[in-house]
Amino acid sequence: MNVGLLDTLMNLAGELVLSRNQFQAAIVQNNHRILNSAGQRLSQVTSEIQDAIMRTRLQPIENVFSKLPRVVRDLSSSLGKDVRLDIQGKEVALDRSLVEDFRSPDPHGA
């Protein structure tokens, strides 16, 4: 996992605790202005945590294409043809479940 992303998650966890404490204090004080502000901050931090967690699942699409050069080279050799494989966009990231679906053959043959 990316260390920067882990740092972000740690910071957001700290902000979540602070927001929760502010929210609880506003409830005890029955202060609607602070309660509204704290509720908005809780919502914002929660969304940021959800986004950061989703980013932890991302993997480069290069993992899907990693075996293609060998397959193309072997096929080229067996057919006696010259082939050039040009893969672009390897840095694009997909959710891990999609990458795993591409790498694993469908057991049902679909």
Q: What is the Cα gyration radius of the chain?
A: 24
One pLDDT digit (tens) per residue for the chain, 110 residues: 578 888 999 999 999 999 999 999 999 999 999 999 999 999 999 999 999 998 888 888 887 788 888 999 999 999 999 988 888 887 888 888 877 776 665 555 44
- Confidence at residue 108, expressed as pLDDT on a 0 to 100 scale: 55
Report residue 62 as tokens.
Answer: 């290069």
Continuous segment of H or E residues that includes residue 98:
helix 96-103
Beta bridge partners of 93: 60
Can you tell me the distance from the alpha carbon of 82 to that of 94, in angstroms, rounded to the nearest whole number? 31
DSSP helix/strand/coil, 42: helix
